[in-house]
Amino acid sequence: MTAGERDGTAEEVMQLIFALRSKGVTDKRVLDAIEKTPRAAFLDRSFKDRAWEDIPLPIACGQTISQPSVVGQMTQALGATARCKVLEVGTGSGYQAAILARLARRVYSVERHRPLARQAREVIERRLHLSNVSIMTADGALGLPDQAPFDRIMVTAAAEDVPAILLEQLREGGVMVLPVGQTDDVQQLLRVEKTAEGLQYSELSPVRFVPLLEGVAADVVD
């Protein structure tokens, strides 16, 4: 790992953990996973110095890497354990997938932008040496039916409603966490639990994510 991808100073780590706790992220496993995952590794050089700040930052393809407190809230709500097979829709930088990899048995992450998928794979596999993550370029709105059912599903883009096709791929007893909203200004982070009696919904917090789009982006040419 290069100097620009350091783990962060003790002060930087302490400040970030304090920010996470102040926003309700108290699960020790989640906090440990975030502390062990160098966010700078997923950022362009010009933003690496801000990696430990609790702010969203731009990445390639017009996307963003979420602020750590939102990553922490979503990860905590998902409740992945070492026995879980997780689907992430929207790999982005790969930062969230790397954190999930430290908590779950297996993570499948789908990204519609091939450059993002390729870069995330490079960081996760070759720099962080996490071997339980599979990243692929595909239409995330369709999920991964060949790998279903999943114990946990996380969607990192906002849908107008909870996608039925993804619910079908969630096992009974499983949990999905996703932002839902029809506009950029009105989105709610939801936790959905699939039970034998039906779906149980919990509203977590207002958020702002890019929209969940169908299809694979036109930048798929290598």
Q: Per residue in 74-86, is it b (16+ CB within 10 Å) or e — as a string? A: bbbbbbbeeebbb
Instruction: Look at residue 220 and tell me whether its pLDDT is greater than 50.
Output: no
- Indicate the range of 75-79, 95-99, 152-156, 211-215 predicted with least confidence: 211-215
Residues 6+ positions from 197 with CB-CB distance below 8 Å:
none
User: What is the structure's pLDDT at 109?
Assistant: 98
Task: Quickly state the pLDDT bin for 7 (edges 50, 70, 90).
Answer: low
Task: Quickly state the pLDDT bin for 41 (edges 50, 70, 90).
Answer: very high
Task: Quickly state the pLDDT bin for 3 (edges 50, 70, 90).
Answer: very low
User: What is the structure's pLDDT at 184?
Assistant: 67
Instruction: Look at residue 132 and tell me whether its pLDDT is greater than 50.
Output: yes
| CA gap 212, 157 in Å, rounded | 5
Q: What is the mean pLDDT of residues 161-171?
A: 96
User: What is the structure's pLDDT at 217?
Assistant: 87
Amino acid at 187: Q
Instruction: Look at residue 147 and tell me whether its pLDDT is greater than 60.
Output: yes
Percent of the chain with pLDDT over 70: 94
The pTM of the whole model exceeds 0.85:
yes
Task: Quickly state the pLDDT bin for 218 (edges 50, 70, 90).
Answer: confident
The tens digit of pLDDT for each residue in 85-115 reads: 999 999 999 999 999 999 999 999 999 999 9
| CA gap 64, 82 in Å, rounded | 28
Instruction: Look at residue 56 and tell me whether its pLDDT is greater than 60.
Output: yes
Write down the H helix ranges in 144-215.
164-168
Mean pLDDT, rounded, of the chain: 92
Q: Per residue in 197-209, is it b (16+ CB within 10 Å) or e — as a string? A: eeeeeeebbebbb
List, in sequence order, every residue forming a beta bridge with 58; answer none if it has no partner. Answer: 64
**Sequence-ordered strand ranges (E) for the chain:** 57-58, 64-65, 85-89, 106-111, 133-137, 150-155, 170-180, 188-195, 198-206
Active site residues: 66
